[in-house]
Amino acid sequence: MELAGGIMENNDKFLSQDLLESYAIRLLSGPLNGCEYEILNGRVLVIVGNDVSLGRSDSFSELPENTIVIPYGELTGSFEVISLRP
């Protein structure tokens, strides 16, 4: 699989046995490059924003337990990863 002009190797051998039996999201760039997060209960919410907006107390009301917050320059956004398998 090509990624960013290079070849992405299969890194599954580096995942722990627990993560191999479940789902995980691995960040491939940015300040959290290489970090892996387990997807619990079949879903995870990912919020991306700059350091200032993420640090404001009024930025978010209450976030679900399965939330990853990623500080990333001036980019902002969010997405949710959902497993379709029961």
Domain ranges of the chain: 2-82
Q: How far apart are CA 37 and CA 32, in angstroms?
A: 11
Question: CB of 31 within 8 A of CB of 51?
Answer: no
Digit-coded pLDDT (tens) for 4-58: 433 444 454 554 554 445 678 888 877 788 888 888 777 788 888 776 666 665 5
Q: In this predicted structure, what is the pLDDT of residue 52? A: 64
Overall pTM surpassing 0.75 (yes/no): no
65's tokens: 């337990």
